[in-house]
Amino acid sequence: AQSVTQPDIHITVSEGASLELRCNYSYGATPYLFWYVQSPGQGLQLLLKYFSGDTLVQGIKGFEAEFKRSQSSFNLRKPSVHWSDAAEYFCAVDLSGNTGKLIFGQGTTLQVKP
């Protein structure tokens, strides 16, 4: 079955440390890939997206993600985490080619230690 997996349910990092959140998808072709962030009590905000071309994409708030076809992965990274980055992060795929029908991973909760 087609799916999106975020292996880490909860991650804690120290402020200033680097961050990598993992995302793997199960699908025969290359889907459209997204990362969203959800702050407590808020809706989801798009961080970045990948459709084609350069496999390293830059997003808002200093985030980037790299698409690796061989690993079916789209991991999110940030070189230096800020306390305000504490939130829940969702990886999502559009399997139907930019139809807008997204399948979300279960999410990774990021906690930032002072």
Partner 1 sequence: DAGVIQSPRHEVTEMGQEVTLRCKPISGHNSLFWYRQTMMRGLELLIYFNNNVPIDDSGMPEDRFSAKMPNASFSTLKIQPSEPRDSAVYFCASSPPEGDTQYFGPGTRLTVL
Q: What does residue 58 show for φ and ψ, rounded to 5 degrees?
A: -100, 145
| Smallest gap from residue 41 Cβ to partner 1 (A) | 8
* Residue of 25, 35, 89, 90 interacting with partner 1 (CB under 8 A): 90
Tell me the residue length of the chain.
114
Verify binding: residue 27, partner 1, rule CB under 8 A.
Answer: no
Verify binding: residue 98, partner 1, rule CB under 8 A.
Answer: yes
Verify binding: residue 71, partner 1, rule CB under 8 A.
Answer: no
Verify binding: residue 56, partner 1, rule CB under 8 A.
Answer: no
Verify binding: residue 32, partner 1, rule CB under 8 A.
Answer: yes
Identify the burial level of 53 via C-beta atoms within 10 angstroms of its C-beta, where 0-12 means exposed, 13-18 middle and 19 or more buried.
Answer: exposed
**Distance of alpha carbon 76 from alpha carbon 114, whole angstroms:** 21
